[in-house]
Amino acid sequence: MTEQTATAVAPSNIAFVKYWGKADAALNTPAAGSLSMTLRDLLTTTTVAFDDGLEGDVLILNGAAAPPKALDKARPLLDIVRQQAGISSPARIDSANSFPTGAGLASSASGLAALALAASTAAGLRPSREWLSALARRGSGSASRSLFGGFVEWLPGGQRADGLDSHAVQVAPEDHWDLRMLVVVVRSEAKSTSSTAGMARTAVTSPYFRSFIDTVPADLRTCRRAIAERDFEALTEVVESSALKMHASMMTSSPALLYWKPETLRVMETVYALRAEGAPVAFTIDAGPNVKVLLPPAADADGFDDIRARFASLDGVRDVLATGPGPGAWVVEPGSPQ
């Protein structure tokens, strides 16, 4: 191997039609499709070095040794890359997030996508985006979507025994629709139940899980059409409905998975109030208490700043990050700025 080190940057993404539930736990394939927007400003930069001098794989997260659980997520991916490239060297992974760490924002999507791209490049592989997306999926399902920019759908696959047909595809590029997103941070603690454990519990115990999954194909059709036609009203309806159906299935699991806090509802009520005042806004919520607010392209900057200030002034809101659609993961060429 001539090139043993590579650096990649990958963005996070937020699902409009949610993924919650697996078809195959070993392959990490989903029970249904999902559709997301790749975020321009929430990035992970990861350098991978395959080095025979190491005793085993090492993971550094934001400058400190990562807990063993984090390395467990990375190792299946590294093993696939090593097998594909015909190498056996341990890897040193050095990974850092551009967004406030410990802000309760999921970094697994950007983290595992950056790892997939950096490890494959360091090992000398030149795979397709679809293969990289399927590789990232092995570490974290939502990471499959971060290989592509703009608006992205993750296909459930299910035909191939190796899972390689479960990867993401781009639905529309980032310049198709300049949607705005406000990430309203209300709590910063890491979630107590991992998404893998939460999904398994929901699938086995919630009477509403099947109903949620059964509605996904129609939600995907509505969401694709809303994006194609830049129809914010239709997008609002499907984005909020998908999030609420996912949370209804979480809440009716046993034991219940209740991710919302009083501040979560306060932000949701503010979205309803703004809409009643005539402002187009929509919310979505993932496996945690923070709320992501969607807005159409800012026709007037003052109006956008006012809405942002309104969320920032709510009791219990710690931070409001503004972002929009961005490109998929990329390799940083040695010597070039990121």
Sole window of 18-26, 157-165, 313-321, 323-331 interacting with ligand PMV (rule: CB under 6 A): 18-26
Q: Considering the rule CB under 6 A, would residue 19 count as an interface residue with ligand PMV?
A: yes
Cα 165 off chain centre by: 19
Q: Considering the rule CB under 6 A, would residue 142 count as an interface residue with ligand PMV?
A: yes
Q: Choose which of 7, 44, 97, 140 interacts with ligand PMV (CB under 6 A).
A: 140
8 vs 287 by CB, closer to ligand PMV: 287
What distance in Å separates the CA atoms of residue 106 and residue 142, rounded to the nearest whole number? Answer: 10
CB 41 within 8 A of CB 99: yes
* Distance of closest approach, residue 1 Cβ to ligand PMV, in angstroms: 31
Q: Considering the rule CB under 6 A, would residue 170 count as an interface residue with ligand PMV?
A: no
Between the alpha carbon of residue 63 and those of residues 46, 49, 60, 188, 273, the distances in Å are 12, 16, 6, 19, 42
Q: Considering the rule CB under 6 A, would residue 74 count as an interface residue with ligand PMV?
A: no
* Distance of closest approach, residue 281 Cβ to ligand PMV, in angstroms: 20
123 vs 136 by CB, closer to ligand PMV: 136
Q: Choose which of 47, 107, 108, 120 interacts with ligand PMV (CB under 6 A).
A: 108
DSSP secondary structure, 228-278, as one string: HTT-HHHHHHHHHHHHHHHHHHHHTSSS------HHHHHHHHHHHHHHHTT
How many other C-beta atoms lie within 10 A of the C-beta of residue 229? 11
* Distance of closest approach, residue 125 Cβ to ligand PMV, in angstroms: 23
| 36, β-bridge pairs | 15, 152
Q: Choose which of 9, 18, 48, 206 interacts with ligand PMV (CB under 6 A).
A: 18
235 vs 274 by CB, closer to ligand PMV: 235
Backbone dihedral angles phi then psi of residue 251, each to the nearest 5 degrees: -65, -25
Q: Considering the rule CB under 6 A, would residue 110 count as an interface residue with ligand PMV?
A: no
Q: How many residues bind ligand PMV (CB under 6 A)?
A: 13
Between the alpha carbon of residue 14 and those of residues 3, 166, 281, 282, 291, the distances in Å are 33, 18, 16, 13, 11
Q: Which of residues 260-299 bind ligand PMV (CB under 6 A)?
A: 286-287
Q: Choose which of 38, 44, 195, 253 interacts with ligand PMV (CB under 6 A).
A: 195
36 vs 45 by CB, closer to ligand PMV: 36
Sole window of 12-20, 43-51, 171-179, 298-306 interacting with ligand PMV (rule: CB under 6 A): 12-20
29 vs 89 by CB, closer to ligand PMV: 29
What distance in Å separates the CA atoms of residue 103 and residue 41, rounded to the nearest whole number? Answer: 14
| Cα dihedral: 297, 235, 42, 312 (round 10) | 70
66 vs 298 by CB, closer to ligand PMV: 66
> Which residue in the block uniquely carries the two structure tokens 């590579």?
6
Cα 210 off chain centre by: 23
Q: Which chain residues interact with ligand PMV by CB under 6 A?
A: 15, 18-20, 34, 106, 108, 140-142, 195, 286-287
